[in-house]
């Protein structure tokens, strides 16, 4: 993901990584990668408030950090960030997305595709509770989104989302996809700007007829096939093999050089833990 952003974006990039759940291997590796490719980065963290209902599962805690603390986890001088899932390949200049007019909305997400008819039975947002709640608004995917932090803070969107979360999270049957369900549920109060569909394509939900226009490709879980992501990546994304080989070569070279001064070799950066790496890019 990092390499694909850098290779397609024409302006300087800074990555913000949520420190809490980064692996020690990644934290050891990222300074070398930043020096090699000439990007800035910062590790950020925020202590979970004692008054806010706590999640117990690590994955759900990570999801919560993606949406609950956007107003307090970044410095006040930062005006806008783009969140990009780690299992995503970017094919366009992200500066275009950064500069996009969000029409006064604090958040911008891409609606789920609806042109893969094989997945119709899995579109839970088109029926029952979600259909009634959304009242015609789209249900958006959380793999890529823009946050206008100035607007977000101005309208106290963080407080609003935390109030919704506190109420909903006490029901174990609520917020199954926490980072996605929460902003979609709250969009009547915290409005979402719907990005053009080409900003996020994933095979699970989008038809192949629109793949050629995709600005980013996300390795969404497929509830029908349950194909492992790394297996799917090689099949779905032509440039994946070269990007992965480049990342692995750098990893081997950096850690190989470090072995000369270490008695115990560090673990190689894992490509299996892509879901645990949450990052935000500021351009």
State pLDDT tens for residues 194-213.
999 999 999 989 988 899 99
Residue 192 lies in a domain: yes
Residue 229 lies in a domain: yes
Domain housing 30: 2-262
Residue 175 structure tokens:
């917020």
Cα dihedral value 176, 177, 178, 184, nearest 10: -110
pLDDT in tens, 116-170: 777 778 888 888 999 999 999 999 999 999 999 999 999 999 999 999 999 999 8
The count of structural domains within the chain is 1
Which is more confidently placed, 249 or 117? Answer: 249
Q: Are β-strands 14-18 and 88-90 bridged in parallel, bridged antiparallel, or unpaired?
A: unpaired
Residue 180 lies in a domain: yes
**Among candidates 2, 207, 203, which has minimal Cα distance to 89?**
2
Residue 223 lies in a domain: yes
- Number of separate helices (H) and strands (E) present in the chain: 10, 9
Return the CATH number at 253: 3.90.550.10
Residue 273 lies in a domain: no
Which is more confidently placed, 173 or 252? Answer: 252
Instruction: Tell me the angle at which helices 178-185 and 58-67 cross, rounded to the nearest 10 degrees.
Output: 40
Q: At 272, is the pLDDT very low, low, confident or very high (cuts 50, 70, 90)?
A: very low
pLDDT in tens, 32-90: 999 999 999 999 999 999 999 999 999 999 999 999 999 999 999 999 999 999 999 99
Residue 117 lies in a domain: yes
* CA 208 to chain centroid: 22
Residue 163 lies in a domain: yes
Which is more confidently placed, 237 or 117? Answer: 237
Residue 251 lies in a domain: yes
């Amino acid at each position: 993901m990092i390499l694909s952003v850098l290779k397609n974006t024409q302006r300087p990039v800074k990555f913000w990584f949520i420190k809490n759940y980064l692996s020690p291997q990644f934290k050891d590796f990222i300074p070398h990668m930043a020096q090699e490719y000439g990007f800035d980065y910062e590790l950020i963290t925020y202590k979970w408030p004692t008054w806010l209902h706590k999640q117990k599962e690590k994955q759900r805690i990570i999801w919560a950090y993606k949406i609950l603390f956007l107003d307090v986890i970044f410095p006040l001088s930062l005006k806008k960030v783009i969140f990009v899932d780690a299992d995503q390949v970017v094919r366009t200049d992200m500066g275009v997305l950064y500069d996009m007019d969000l029409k006064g909305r604090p958040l911008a997400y891409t609606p789920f595709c609806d042109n893969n008819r094989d997945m119709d039975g899995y579109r839970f947002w088109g029926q029952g509770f979600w259909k009634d709640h959304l009242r015609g608004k789209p249900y958006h995917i959380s793999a890529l989104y823009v946050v206008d932090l100035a607007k977000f803070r101005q309208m106290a969107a963080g407080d609003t989302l935390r109030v919704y979360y506190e109420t909903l999270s006490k029901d174990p049957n609520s917020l199954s996809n926490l980072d996605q369900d929460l902003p979609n549920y709250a969009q009547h109060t915290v409005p979402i700007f719907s990005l053009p569909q080409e900003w996020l394509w994933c095979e699970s939900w989008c038809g192949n007829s629109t793949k050629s226009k995709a600005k980013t490709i996300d390795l969404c879980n497929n509830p029908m096939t349950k194909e492992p992501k790394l297996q799917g990546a090689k099949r779905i994304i032509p440039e994946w093999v070269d990007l992965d080989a480049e990342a692995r070569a750098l990893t081997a070279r950096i850690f190989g050089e470090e072995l000369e001064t270490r008695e115990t070799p560090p673990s190689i950066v894992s490509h299996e833990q892509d879901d645990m790496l949450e990052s935000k890019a500021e351009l």
